[in-house]
Amino acid sequence: MKKLNLLLAAFLLWIVIPFRAQAQIVRKYDASAGAISKVAIASLEGDRIVTAVRDGGGNLKLIAWKVDAASKIFRKSDASDSAISEVSITDLKPNNRVVTAVRDDGGNLKVIAWDIDANGNISRKGDASAGAISQVSIASLTPNRVATAVRDSDGNLKVIAWDVDANGNISRKGDASAGAISSVSVAALTSNRVVTAVRDADGNLKVVVWDIDGDGKVARKADALAGFISDVALTRYGPNRCQTFVRDASGKLKVIDWAIDQNDKISRGGDASAGAITEVAAYKLITAARGGNGNLELIKWGQLLTLDPSNTASAGAISQVAIAGLSPVSFDANNMANRVVTAVRDGAGNLKLITWYSGLFPKVK
């Protein structure tokens, strides 16, 4: 009987092993809206998505979306504002609130708070303005504090802290500046520390760490350099780690891992490369890029920045790209997939959202 049981177990393993889970990215559903020329995206609790776009008339438009358990996308409502030329957005979890940072029709920075209720209705709250800018990125540190990183009127990097009260009123706190830049991305590491990734005056990647104290005072702490780039995205991966995703000197996608210790020292870790791109966005270790052929390309990187060819996916032609995360979906007790949603300007110039599963799936024989 014992020998029979061993033979049966071996037979079952022979059957099951070819069906073991493998990592891959699977496209699920999509939804479209009208013409856009800029796009940004944020996610709220309950698998709600908010896109912030520059619409066909050149104005800021917010659209609220709901993603169901099957990853189908439903448009809920929208709200519009005045003319803009640049846009970034961040969420204020667990509040049902997002904050947009835009370059307004006067060329100045404007920060606007928006509430999104359970039914997807959008209401505009307070706003505040600063000086002239040409680039902007925004990140949330706490449910009532955000930081903007901008290219100011002198072409320099400036980080500004803002507080958002319970009623959605926005007040400017401290700021600090660094040298000349031509591109910028910002992410919050903790409730009092942010990191910026920029293309500096020499065209090189520079990573800068900033502390923001309880009163909102901003202090530059440390920086580190890498090689020539022409586009950059930045993601937080824990309180003392981040990754930069860049278009390098050869026009290819490169991801670089960075560690920031408690004394704000920045240490460069590993890096890895993929194919040609023209622009890039990122969520955790997933990149959404416009590939060399003009199409949307998704890559999920391993924690050691390994690249599995099966963990990639493509879609049609795009000219703008943004990405956000959704809650995971579980297939069984041991098999869970992460979910993301990409927001792009498609080949026709319209907004398109696509949901994706990124994780483990049954491996067929």
| Within a domain: 30 | no
Residue 94, exposed/middle/buried by CB under 10 A (0-12, 13-18, 19+)? Answer: exposed
Residue 139, exposed/middle/buried by CB under 10 A (0-12, 13-18, 19+)? Answer: buried
Which pLDDT belongs to residue 362?
45
pTM over 0.95: no
| Within a domain: 52 | yes
Domain that holds residue 166: 36-327
Separation CA 266–CA 276 (nearest Å): 28
Which pLDDT belongs to residue 4?
44
By DSSP bridging, strand 108-116 and strand 122-142 are antiparallel
- pLDDT (tens, 9 = 90+) of the chain, 365 residues, equals 544 454 444 433 333 333 344 558 999 999 999 999 999 999 999 999 999 999 999 999 999 999 999 999 999 999 999 999 999 999 999 999 999 999 999 999 999 999 999 999 999 999 999 999 999 999 999 999 999 999 999 999 999 999 999 999 999 999 999 999 999 999 999 999 999 999 999 999 999 999 999 999 999 999 999 999 999 999 998 899 999 999 999 999 999 999 999 999 999 999 999 999 999 999 999 999 999 999 999 999 987 777 766 689 999 999 999 999 998 876 554 455 689 999 999 999 999 999 999 875 444 33
Query: b or e along 41-80 (b: 16 or more beta carbons within 10 Å of the residue's beta carbon)?
Result: bbbbeebbbbbbbbbeeeebbbbbbbbeeebebebbebee
Residue type, 286: I
Which pLDDT belongs to residue 331?
56
| Within a domain: 341 | no
| Within a domain: 339 | no
Separation CA 62–CA 124 (nearest Å): 10
Which pLDDT belongs to residue 336?
59
CATH code of 234's domain = 2.130.10.10
Q: Which two tokens stand for residue 23?
A: 């990592």
Any alpha helices (H) in 283-353, and if so which ranges? Answer: none
Query: What is the CA angle 103-104-105, rounded to 5?
Result: 130
Any alpha helices (H) in the chain, and if so which ranges? Answer: 2-16
| Counted domains in the chain | 1
| Within a domain: 4 | no
Q: Are 330 and 336 in contact (CB under 8 A)?
A: yes
Which pLDDT belongs to residue 3?
46
